[in-house]
Structure 1
Amino acid sequence: MPRKRSTDDDELLVRLRSLTAQARERAEYQRSQVELAIALQRGMLPPDLPDTPRFHLAVRYAPACYGLNVGGDWYDAFPLPDGHIGLTIGDVQGHNIEAAAFMGQVRVALRALASVTGEPGELLARTNDLLVSLGSDLFATCTFMRLDPEAGVLESARAGHVPFVWATADGKSGVGEDEGGPPLGIEPGIDYPVARYRLTTGGMFVLLTDGVVEGPSLPIEEGLDQVVRLAGVAAVAGLDAQSLAAAVIKGAERVGHEDDAAVLVMGHEGPDATP
């Protein structure tokens, strides 16, 4: 004879249905937040890159998509009013929709202020002061470079960001040793030193975010050494910027966590230029 369902059973079923509905709502909310953050990321990244004779740009970008672990890495490249090319890469603190939105603010600020000054140190200083004035709790690391394609000279300033990697066709390679300054958005009135480099035929510059070279399974020193080796091989072998960018982003799989990973490679494939 079937057992008669008690009032307690009915109450338990009601509670289970309620908990299931709440869990479904939370999952749907998280999914929508992730989709929105990814849409913000993609919408803020440039649809194309400047086409400059003798200099070739290549990018790779892998957003983190584990749960709400969506960050604010970005890259950008655009012509400046004086005919130079601006190159930037950066990373916003945090992994959520706020980080993705703040990334958009930083990228727009850099582009807008670059129309006033393309000098890397001054540009980072002005962007930093603007972000501080917004009163956000977030901050961003960033590298900004200005390329003079006629002279083959690259000027660089760094705000708390991972150093770039360089390589030349004669077998030399290494990590940039410019001084740099603190991240953007923490303290006003900061000066950012500018370093200058001369590009030669076959030379490579690799800008990247820490998601490419650092994580639980990969110390940053080892990660940077890995990119140095890849860049050195690519420069000596005469590989193009696209091939090197693909190889560097592939190496990000070794870091041991889910994080944004961005790579911007510049290769000089024309005749040597003198500053």
Structure 2
Amino acid sequence: MFRSESAEDGAELLAKLGALTARARELAELQRSRVELAVALQRGMLPRDLPTAPGVRLAVGYMPANHGLNVGGDWYDAFTMADGRIALSIGDVQGHNIQAAAFMGQVRVALRALASVTGDPGELLARTNDLLVSLDADLFATCTFLRLDPAAGTLECARAGHIPHIWATADGRSGVDEEEGGPPLGVLHGATYPVARHRLTVGGVFVLPTDGVVEGPSLSLDDGLDQVRRLAQITAAAGLGVDTLAGGVMKLADSVGHEDDAAVLVVGHDGGTGWRRAPCA
């Protein structure tokens, strides 16, 4: 009798373990499918091609967060506006799930749509912010929006809660932007976004990262920004080009010890026809 009950108990235990294992596999497969869907959604909303203009050079880097349950909402975008200037944006949605990835798409589409109404970076962010607030999505996004005039080499920039961008010149100068910004998009109705104006030198670069590039468990934000600044300074002084710089920035992102998205957008010029030689600041 004792042996019979033990055999029955053992069989029942094995059956329960088998059911639990099958359920765990189902949940793992479901999560894997969700991550794959979110990553595909993210990548599908990123631009396939970058705009071109005489002498202007653009480069990007992107690494989605798909570790475990993390699925982020970082994005970059670049497109030519109706007046011939180039719009550039980069941002980061709060949260790490498929809702964050979907909200990222809404922000990007809103920026593109409203850019046909106004090209002023500050007004554009203000209108996008009010639209997102009206959606009542319980999510928010940080963003930097730049408008580049390829003929003059001027950059107009507005920030919505996003980390600063970095600049460097071919003569070895570099810095981290210290201009005032506004609150993240989707938080406060009627928010305003100051516009800073810069000029890009021949051989100079502007680097727009997300916080996944420069901040993590093994790296503070200030140290991360400084590392990107030094990398930009060296690359610009050596004339190595924007693709090399973007690649170097993404290597840094891979070493900060986080499981967040990471994206970078690099703007440069190689001295093509019509470019005005003036300081970058």
Q: TM-score, normalised by structure 1?
A: 0.96
Number of equivalenced pairs: 274
Q: Deviations over 1:83-108 (max 9, x none)?
A: 11000000001111111111111011
Which residue in 2 is equivalent to 1:273?
276
CA pair 212-181 structure 1, distance change in 2 beyond 3 A = same
Deviation at 1:253, TM superposition (A): 2.0
Matches within 5 A, 1:95-244: 95-244=96-245
Listed one character per residue, the Cα deviations across residues 148-193 of structure 1 (whole Å, up to 9, x for unaligned) are 1111110000000010000011111000111001100011100100
Distance between the aligned counterparts of 2:14 and 2:259, measured in 1?
A: 38
Amino acid aligned to 2:62: Y
Q: Cα distance, 1:10 vs. partner?
A: 3.0
CA distance in 2, matches of 1:115, 1:143: 18
How far did residue 32 of structure 1 move?
Answer: 0.6
What secondary structure, in the 3-state scheme, does the structure 2 residue paired with 1:254 have? coil
Q: Secondary structure at the match of 2:158?
A: strand
Deviation at 1:235, TM superposition (A): 1.1
Is the 1:33–1:68 Cα contact (8 Å) retained in structure 2? no
Which segments of 5 or more consecutive residues in structure 2 lack a partner in the other structure? none
Partner residue in 1 for 2:42: 41
1:10 corresponds in structure 2 to 11
- Counterpart-to-counterpart distance in 2, 1:241 and 1:52: 15
CA offsets, 1:19-78, max 9 Å, x none?
112111111110110010011011000001001111100001011120121100000000
Kept after mapping to 2: 8 A contact 1:124/1:157? yes
SS of 2:251's equivalent?
helix
- Separation in 1, partners of 2:52, 2:83: 16
Instruction: Please state how far the C-alpha of 1:208 moved relative to its aligned partner.
Output: 0.5
| Unpaired segments ≥5 residues, structure 1 | none
Match of 2:185, SS state, is: coil
CA contact (8 A) 2:202 2:277 kept: no
Q: Partners of 1:274 and 1:247 in 2: how far apart?
A: 26
CA distance in 2, matches of 1:274, 1:156: 20
2:93 matches 1:92: yes
Structure 2 residue aligned with 1:251: 252
Alpha-carbon distance, 1:274 to partner: 6.7
Kindly state the Cα deviation for residue 9 of structure 1 after the two structures are TM-superposed: 2.5
Q: Secondary structure at the match of 2:42?
A: helix
Instruction: Compare 191-200 and 7-16 and name the one that shifted more.
Output: 7-16
In structure 1, the partner of 2:54 is 53
C-alpha displacement of 1:14: 2.4
Q: How far 1:7 moved relative to its partner?
A: 3.2
Structure 2: how far apart are the matches of 1:75 and 1:35?
19
Per-residue deviation, residues 185-218 of structure 1 (Å, max 9, x unmatched)? 0111001000000111111000010000001100
Q: Alignment RMSD, CA only?
A: 1.4
State percent identity of aligned pairs. 71
Whole-Å separation in 2 of the counterparts to 1:265 and 1:47: 16
Partner SS, residue 54 of structure 2: coil
Return the alpha-carbon distance in structure 1 between the equivalents of residues 131 and 262 of structure 2.
Answer: 26
Q: Aligned equivalents of 2:186 and 2:218: distance in 1?
A: 30
